[in-house]
A and B are shown apart, each in its own frame.
Chain A
Amino acid sequence: MPPTETPVCFHCGSALPAGATVMATLEGEPREFCCAGCETAARFILAQGLGGYYAFRAPSAPAPGRARDWSAFDRAEARRRYTHLRADGRSEVSLRVDGMHCAACAWLIERGLERLPGAQAAHVDVTGARVELAYDADRLPLSRVLATLEQLGFQPRPLAFGNADTGEDAQRRAALRRLGIAGIGMMQVMTYAGSLYAGAWHGMSPALEALFRWVSLLVATPVVTYAAAPFFLGAWRSLRAGTLGMDVPVALSIAAAYAASLWATVTGTGTVYFDSVVMFTFFLTLGRFVEQSVRQRAGERQEAVARLLPEAALRLLPDGGGERVLPEELAVGDLIRVRPGERAPADGEVVEGGSEFDESLLTGESAPRVKGAGATVAAGTLNLRNALDLRVTRSGQDTTLAAAARLLARARAERPGVAATADAVATWFVGGVLLIAAAVGVYWSLVDTPRAFPAVLAVLVVTCPCALSLATPAALAAAADRLAHAGVWVVRGRAVETLARTDAAVFDKTGTLTRGTPRLVRVELLAADAPPADAPDAERQRQHWLAIAAGMERRSEHPMARAFAEAAARDDVAHVRNVAGAGIAATVGGRSYRLGRAEFAAPGAFWRPRVSDDESLVVLGDATGPLAAFVLTDAVRADAAATLRALARRGLRVEIASGDRTEVVAAVAQRLGVDSAAGDLSPAEKLATVRRLQRQGRVVTVIGDGVNDAPVLAGADVSVAVGGGTDLAKVSADLVLLGDRLEPLADAVDVARRTMRIVRENLAWAVLYNAVAVPLAASGHLAPWLAALGMSASSLLVVCNALRLRARPAAAFASGCTTAPAVA
């Protein structure tokens, strides 16, 4: 099946909305854009001579956001907080930049920033969503840097200087150093060991053998003391905590084998086990490194809740003026103004004015709340209507938002994981190994003392808990890596285990199955003298009314206005008046129009538009009556139906639980072919849906987007957040779907199931291997070098088995089509 050719936006690569696109001729080529914002971004990029970006980037770019006011970042306070003055007089700033996803994005940002006057060097890290910039703070204001990034189509945010990030970086580098040292050391020691083994068969001069031993000791020492240090620390920590972790036998065997080899080398007697020591260290370090880096990368994606706060607050001064300050600078008692479309920067009490606030973030309530004088407004909630003044009651870490975030973090920490089971198993396994080793030691020292140490060491080394301590994390990490390529971030590695067993999926609707933002579906002509819908003139008229409506909506911050953001707009709009709860009145080209609810735009008109349950209506009218109606809907994602079918085919029971109106939910459910759907649910009721399924013995996956899903996500066995959702939701989810597609979810279930099959295979192998090897080692029939060889071969086998997960079917990438492989 050939991939279908759908027209896409030149800049952001998203599908073009029907009927409402922006055409522009750039560098002699006609280009189509989904919205004016994308067109502006593309023009800016080309004007900078950075058109190479379009040739080499991955298929989609971020859609540019609204231009914001960054001036607060030029204040001295902001400078102190976010930038660092270097010894050479340059300043450094660290930015988190969302929307980067490929090397071309990095190139675009580096070039774009380095062209700014005063900029010195920009360093971009795509995986960490980080940009470091060195610049001359006197010539280049920080606000210009931020505005430039925004113009390029990314979402920047400065990071407070010297926060925890650097700690994580240092940790990663230390792990990398350890891995490198262990790897290089292993390669060397193995060649020496090969020579020693060859020498043992064919004869070797004692002097040469001593040389090889001493050189091996020299190389193995840093491996043991530096690369293997975390195992000793881990063992020590787990012993102090009174448990037997995986690190205990690892540390014991490394230490014992190294000490024995050291003794043998110095005295020139016995056997050396340097090869076993370094091999063991390297493989364990590698397993941990892979697991750690995958986890860290995922963790970087969950930035703090602070991102829900606005970049700047408008503080009112006693003289009536205002100044832009950082939300962190606000103190209790400050007077601030929150304009429509902005989020409140702190908790406060309304002093003057009245408006509606979207509190869905904190309460899950999607209907706006009316706030008059004296009402309290929580930080992070969105002002939908009018500007109003607040007196700050709580700011910074004391706000309701910060408290909610802390609560979520704690709930997450307390959630029991499968990790506990693995640890418990490990404790028994380790205890068993130590007991056997002790028994073997006692037995042989009574029967044949010289054979005691090699036998004990052989037992410790041969019983590599590799399937548990190495292969399982490696399999989980490989699965995470494989999923990351498919567009799914595994935030918690253990989620894969549960996802494999899941047999029920509960979807939220808004923002999950649907896009979460209204889109214009069609324009209906209502004027008395309007031509019939299919007349040639009709399309022109539709465009005419749409341009007027779009021009008026540009002045509005109402959520509905976003549906018009993509349309070409008139800019001769004047006398704009927002009427709360009704709509907007303005003059366009000298004529006055009203736009909004039918009763407001065309009062007295006896006319009912035909819309289905999941559509809503915005009417444009003037003194003569209604002129046009714009039908909006929260469009269902293109791949939602295919994804739900794919999940059903995999034996999952699919349900929809939404806080939206029941009729709307039913309409969407019918379109998607889902039998079981419920609307009008509070978060508690959604959670009850999950609990009901769990009581039926099902393992439930919850897929949601907003923060209002957080309690539901936390109650699920596996939680999935859709990338478009806010960051807080990501924080509380086990998996995050990147991008705008649901499709990777079905793939994720497959990968998870394959992962668990591989883990089971590895465990089965480990049982078999240990069952054969331990008796051999205990009875003294296994030399430690053979034990190490066996252990390494076994480790390699299970790790390679685990790494099979990284392979992905090429077909999934070649065909960009969204349908499941039913025809394959």
Chain B
Amino acid sequence: MNILFLLIPLGLMVLAAMVAAFLWAVRRGQFEDMEQAAVRILLDEDRAP
């Protein structure tokens, strides 16, 4: 079970990365509009004006 003494601090680092990614996403406004992103990919500029 001694491996846990390594794995849990490692897990903590992953956790820190997760929190950092989340904070970054919030700051970039990625949670502002949850509906548009899903449909966006369907809309394509296939014809130039």
Which chain A residues lie closer than 8 Å to B18 at the CB level?
184
Cβ–Cβ contact A49 & B49, under 8 A: yes
* Chain A positions 720-748 with a Cβ under 8 Å from a chain B Cβ: none
Known: A126-B33, A215-B8. 9 other contacts (CB 8 A): A47-B49, A49-B45, A103-B38, A107-B39, A107-B43, A184-B19, A208-B1, A208-B5, A215-B9
Residues of B contacting A102 in the complex (Cβ-Cβ under 8 angstroms): 35, 39
Interface of B is mostly: helix
Q: List 23 A-B contacts (CB under 8 A).
A: A49-B48, A52-B44, A52-B46, A53-B43, A56-B39, A56-B43, A103-B35, A103-B36, A103-B40, A103-B43, A107-B39, A115-B49, A124-B36, A127-B32, A127-B35, A173-B26, A173-B27, A176-B26, A177-B22, A180-B19, A211-B5, A212-B8, A218-B12
How many angstroms from the CA of A173 to the CA of B1 in the assembled complex? 41
On chain A, the residues within 8 Å of B15 by CB distance are: 184, 188, 219
Asked whether, in the complex, the Cβ of A48 is within 8 Å of the Cβ of B39, the reply is no
A residues within 8 A CB of B36?
Answer: 103, 106-107, 124, 126
Within 8 A of B (CB), among A83-112: 102-104, 106-107, 111
Residues of B within 8 A of A127 (CB): 32-33, 35
Is A205 in contact with chain B by the CB < 8 A criterion? yes
Q: A103-B36, A103-B38 are in contact. Are A176 and B31 (CB under 8 A)?
A: yes
Output the nearest chain B residue to A105 by Cβ-Cβ distance.
Answer: B36
Q: On chain B, which size bracket covers the interface?
A: 20 to 34
Q: Contact partner of A125 among B1, B33, B39, B40, CB < 8 A?
A: B33
CB distance from B21 to the nearest CB of A (A): 10
Known A-B contacts A49-B45, A211-B4, A215-B8; the reply to A103 vs B22 at CB < 8 A is no
User: How long is the Cα–Cα vector from A56 to B44 in the complex, in angstroms?
Assistant: 10
| Across-interface contacts of B35 in A (CB, < 8 A) | 102-103, 126-127
Q: Is A125's CB under 8 angstroms from B32's CB?
A: yes
A-side contacts of B19, CB under 8 Å: 180-181, 184
- B42 and A56: CB pair below 8 A? yes
A52 to B9 Cα, complex, angstroms: 50
A50 CB contacts on chain B under 8 angstroms: 49
Q: Which of A529-557 contact B (CB under 8 A)?
A: none
Q: Considering the complex, which residues of chain A in the window 44-93 have a beta carbon less than 8 Å from any beta carbon of chain B?
A: 47-53, 56
- Shortest CB-to-CB span from A663 to chain B, Å, is 47
Interface residues of A in 199-220 (CB under 8 A from B): 205, 208, 211-212, 215, 218-219
CA distance A318 to B23 in the complex (A): 58
Q: Which A residue's beta carbon lies closest to that of B49? A: A49
Q: Are B12 and A49 in contact (CB under 8 A)?
A: no
- Chain A nearest Cβ from B9, distance in angstroms: 8
Residues of B close to A115: CB separation below 8 A: 49
In angstroms, how far is the closest chain A Cβ from the Cβ of B24?
A: 11
With contacts A106-B36, A181-B19, A208-B4 taken as known, whether A215 is within 8 angstroms of B31 at the C-beta atoms is: no
A126 surroundings in chain B (CB, below 8 A): 33, 35-36
Interface residues of A, count at CB 8 A: 34
B48 CB to closest chain A CB, in angstroms? 6
Q: Sorted from nearest, which 5 A-B pairs have the closest CB atoms?
A: A103-B39, A49-B49, A103-B36, A107-B43, A49-B47
Q: Which residues of B contact A205 (CB under 8 A)?
A: 1
| B47 nearest CB across to chain A (Å) | 5
Report yes or no: B26 in contact with A177, Cβ–Cβ below 8 A: yes
Digitize B1-18: 1 where CB-to-A-CB distance is under 8 Å, 0 elsewhere: 100110011011001001
CA distance A103 to B40 in the complex (A): 7
Q: Are B40 and A111 in contact (CB under 8 A)?
A: no
- CB proximity of A194 to chain B, nearest CB, Å: 13
Min distance, Cβ A225 to any Cβ of chain B, angstroms: 14
- CB within 8 Å of A: which residues of B? 1, 4-5, 8-9, 11-12, 15, 18-19, 22-23, 26-27, 31-33, 35-36, 38-40, 42-49
Residues of B near A51 (CB, < 8 A) are 47
CA distance A107 to B27 in the complex (A): 22
Complex: chain B residue closest to A173, CB-CB: B26
Residues of chain A within 8 A (CB-CB) of B22 are 177, 180-181, 184
Q: How far is the CA of A47 from the CA of B42 in the complex (A)?
A: 20
**What 1/0 flags go to A569-583 for Cβ under 8 Å of B?**
000000000000000
Instruction: Write out the residue numbers on chain A whose beta carbons fall within 8 Å of the beta carbon of B45.
Output: 49, 52, 111
Map CB proximity to B onto A121-164 as digits: 1 under 8 Å, 0 otherwise.
00011111000000000000000000000000000000000000
CB contacts (< 8 Å) of A103 on chain B: these are 35-36, 38-40, 43
A203 to chain B, nearest CB (A): 11
The residues of B that contact A181 with a CB separation of less than 8 Å are 19, 22
A522 to chain B, nearest CB (A): 42
List B contacts of A173 (CB < 8 A). 26-27
**A104 vs B4: C-alpha distance in the bound complex, in angstroms?**
50
Nearest-neighbour CB distance to chain A for B27, whole angstroms, equals 7
Closest B residue to A191 by beta carbon equals B11
B12 close to A215 (CB less than 8 A)? yes
Report B20 CB to chain A, min CB distance, Å. 11
Whole-angstrom distance from the CB of A179 to the nearest CB of chain B?
Answer: 10
A208 and B32 CA atoms in complex are apart in Å by: 42
Minimum distance in angstroms from A431 CB to a CB of chain B: 38
| Contact pick for A104, options B32, B33, B39, B49, CB 8 Å | B39
- A106 contact set on B, CB distance < 8 A: 33, 36
Residues of A within 8 A of B40 (CB): 103, 107
Name A27's closest neighbour in chain B (CB-CB).
Answer: B47
Mask for A300-344, Cβ within 8 A of B = 1, else 0?
A: 000000000000000000000000000000000000000000000
Chain A contacts of B42 at CB under 8 A?
56
| A177 and B23 contact, CB distance less than 8 A | yes
A180-196 interface (Cβ within 8 A of B) = 180-181, 184, 188
A52 — which chain B residues lie within 8 A by C-beta? 43-46
* Interchain nearest-CB distance for B17 vs A (Å): 11
| Distance of A176 Cα from B27 Cα, bound (Å) | 10
Bound state CA distance, A126 and B38, in angstroms? 13
- Closest Cβ of chain B: how far from A468's Cβ, in Å? 29
Contact of A48 with B49 in the complex, beta carbons under 8 Å: yes
- Rounded to whole angstroms, the CA-CA distance of A51 and B11 in the bound complex is 49
Docked CA distance A10–B4 (Å): 64
- Distance from A490 Cβ to chain B, minimum over Cβ atoms (Å): 19
With CB as the reference atom, state the residue of chain A lying closest to B22. Answer: A180
In the bound complex, CA of A667 to CA of B42 (Å): 49
Min CB–CB distance A497 → chain B (angstroms)? 28
CA distance A180 to B44 in the complex (A): 33
- Within the complex, the shortest CB–CB distance from A357 to chain B, in Å, comes to 41
A111–B46 Cα distance when bound, in Å, is: 13
Residues of chain B with a CB closer than 8 A to A53's CB? 43
Q: Whole-angstrom distance from the CB of B35 to the nearest CB of chain A?
A: 6
Closest Cβ of chain A: how far from B6's Cβ, in Å?
11
CB nearest neighbor in B for A222: B19
Collect the chain B residues with CB atoms within 8 Å of residue A219's CB: 12, 15
Complex Cα distance A205/B19, Å? 30
Which chain A residue has the least Cβ–Cβ distance from B2? Answer: A208
Q: Which residue of A lies closest to B8 (CB)?
A: A215
> What CA separation (Å) do A502 and B32 show in the bound complex?
35
The residue of chain B having its C-beta at the shortest distance from the C-beta of A58 within the complex is: B39
Docked Cα-Cα span, A220 to B12, in Å, equals 12
* Shortest Cβ gap from B36 to chain A (Å): 4
Give, as a whole number of angstroms, the nearest-CB distance from B41 to chain A. 10
In the complex the two chains form, what is the Cα distance from A56 to B43 in whole Å? 7
Residues of A within 8 A of B49 (CB): 47-50, 115
